[in-house]
Amino acid sequence: MQKIIRNMIKCNTCGDVIESTYRHDYKTCSCGRVAVDGGHDYLRRAFTESPGDFTELSETASESGA
């Protein structure tokens, strides 16, 4: 299982880097083409045209469980 360290993307149109820091923390870039949500609970992406509208910058780590 993956643990989310940072939930972050960069808009390829306006260049904004946006990060969701807590659950249901929906953030949109300044041009409105992409958004990020989920904080450390889940990775959710929204875009107007295609997944190529953003660059993924999130960081995850392996979570060892018993």
Over the chain, what is the mean pLDDT? 95
Confidence label for 65 from pLDDT (cuts 50, 70 and 90) = low
Confidence label for 1 from pLDDT (cuts 50, 70 and 90) = confident
Confidence at residue 4, expressed as pLDDT on a 0 to 100 scale: 96
Question: For the chain, how are helix, strand and coil distributed in percent, rounded to 5?
Answer: 5, 45, 50
Q: What is the pTM of this model?
A: 0.88
Give pLDDT tens digits for 27-54.
999 999 999 999 999 999 999 999 999 9
Task: Determine the length of the chain.
Answer: 66
